[in-house]
Amino acid sequence: MKIAVFGLGYVGMTAAACLARQGHEVMGVEVSDEKVAIVNAGKSPIAEPGLNELVGRAVRKGLLSATKDASRLLDDCAVAMVCVGTPSAPDGSHNMSFIVEVSRQIAQSIGPSRTRTLTVVFRSTMRPGTIEELVLPIFEDKLRDRIDLVELVYNPEFLRESVAIQDFFNPPKIVIGTKDGRRCAALDELNAKIEAPIFYTTYRAAEMTKFVDNSFHAVKVAFANEVGRVCDKLGISAVTVHKIFTSDTKLNISPYYLRPGGAFGGSCLPKDVRALQYIASDVGAHTHLLDSLLRSNDAHKNFLFENCLKGVPAGGQVLMLGLAFKENSDDLRESPNIDLARKFLQSSIRLSIYDPHVEPCTLLGQNLGYAFSNLPALRKLLISKSVAESELFDLVVDTRGWAKDMTLRTKWVIDVNTLS
Ligand SMILES: NC(=O)c1ccc[n+]([C@@H]2O[C@H](COP(=O)([O-])OP(=O)(O)OC[C@H]3O[C@@H](n4cnc5c(N)ncnc54)[C@H](O)[C@@H]3O)[C@@H](O)[C@H]2O)c1
């Protein structure tokens, strides 16, 4: 396949050399004269293990070259791959000027004689909405009724510098955003020999995945370092703790606790986060990430409440399914559902709650104390399944996924665990 790669930096140079290694004919397009000259001399303009050799071999075989001028180049290319930088602007947003510039350049290069579709693959990291709101209008403006000549694709890059070649051929996953999440034949062909889970999705979901990945990596590093600082101050081996922590692939390093949905709560998480915050501040470990967890959780509770409240008329009637912090439990301590119930009551919503596991007269100890100090009207709010099914409510808030197995008269149901 003939491919033009725009931007010969860490991402573009690696992609260009690896694609040439796979036998594709690759032209690198780069604004820097120096980089163009280095590539055409058979060398890599960036330091990356193994890349010099790969570039040298590809240039000698005639499969890789570089140029500054893309004007005629795209005529016989099947794919244009955009790997230009998206550095930070002064306000923290991405500077999108290189993306705009290169999109214009590509759109302009599609000559009147072209009849074959050009797949334009964006690999740079860009905010959700960039393809639809920034890139597509540039192509539409230039091509007008010939817009079908381009197929825009967003394919985020997940490589790590220093092992970039290895990551190119063995990526953790391949994410491809297309119009309506349809498959893209050109990318299927390019990825045919790469073994990795492949996800076709919308442009926005693909754009978002890259931000989520990088932010999560940052969260992990900050979290590990905060734990490391607390351990250090307490004279505990952080290495030992880390080894035990990461060995747990059931609850710790796993999809568990990583699904967007309900807030965290219960008798352990909030209490122990508070206690670790206390210890950390006591020993001066400055754990800003840990300190933010309860505030973040409160923000999520507010978000869920506001979401539920949309469309419920003033003084309306709401049914909550589930009150305890977990299924099959009567433990109400720091249940986020208690907070939700309180917020409804404070907003003068007429509330009913169905939870067959919560029986006020059998609650004991701290659980009893928590329930009645935080939701004094508990006894009056709880209703039976038959009442829940026979009455008409303005909204059902399902914290358990029970609604699908009940014969509710109310059709408007919010499932807190899937945010839908
Ligand atoms: N570096 C990484 O490890 C990595 C990993 C994944 C994703 N990304 C993302 O990929 C993108 C590229 O990152 P990078 O580190 O390779 O950037 P980089 O700055 O090393 O390279 C970008 C290149 O594009 C060139 N360029 C700018 N405008 C151009 C134009 N109009 N035509 C042709 N070339 C042009 C620049 O001269 C530069 O050589 C960024 O969005 C980055 O966030 C980077």
Report how far apart, in Å, the C-alpha atoms of 176 and of each of 201, 208, 362, 369, 388 are: 6, 12, 53, 52, 44
Output the pLDDT for position 203. Answer: 98
pLDDT band at 365, cuts 50/70/90?
A: confident
Nearest CA residue ID for atom 17, ligand 1: 85
**Residue % of the chain over a pLDDT of 90:** 91
Output the pLDDT for position 73. Answer: 86
Report how far apart, in Å, the C-alpha atoms of 368 and of each of 343, 376, 398 are: 20, 10, 23
Instruction: Name every residue whose Cβ is closer than 8 Å to that of residue 56 and which is 6 or more positions away in sequence.
Output: 42, 43
Output the pLDDT for position 283. Answer: 96
Output the pLDDT for position 386. Answer: 97
> Which atom from ligand 1 is nearest to the alpha carbon of 102?
31
Nearest CA residue ID for atom 12, ligand 1: 85
- What is the separation, in whole angstroms, between the first and last Cα of the chain? 43
Output the pLDDT for position 366. Answer: 86
Question: Minimum mean pLDDT among 26-35, 66-75, 379-388: which range?
Answer: 66-75
Q: Does 70 or 293 have the greater pLDDT score? A: 293
Owner of token pair 């020999």: 193
- Please tell me the distance from the alpha carbon of residue 200 to that of residue 177, in angstroms, as a whole number: 6
Report how far apart, in Å, the C-alpha atoms of 312 and of each of 23, 306, 323, 401, 410 are: 61, 10, 20, 20, 13
Asked if residues 408 and 389 have their Cβ atoms less than 8 Å apart, the reply is yes
* CB of 45 closer than 6 angstroms to any ligand 1 atom: no
Active site residue 268: yes
The 10s digit of each residue's pLDDT in 2-39 is: 999 999 999 999 999 999 999 999 999 999 999 999 99
Among 77, 184, 268, 308, which one carries the catalytic annotation?
A: 268
**The domains spanning 2-203 and 303-415 adopt the same CATH topology:** yes
With respect to CATH, is domain 303-415 assigned 3.40.50.300? no
Name which CATH class applies to 2-203: alpha beta
Distance between alpha carbon 220 and the CA centroid of its chain, in Å? 14
pLDDT band at 360, cuts 50/70/90?
A: confident
pLDDT band at 249, cuts 50/70/90?
A: very high
pLDDT band at 368, cuts 50/70/90?
A: confident
The 10s digit of each residue's pLDDT in 200-247 is: 999 999 999 999 999 999 999 999 999 999 999 999 999 999 999 999
| Every domain of the chain and the residues it spans | 2-203, 303-415
- Please tell me the distance from the alpha carbon of residue 396 to that of residue 389, in angstroms, as a whole number: 11
Output the pLDDT for position 143. Answer: 96
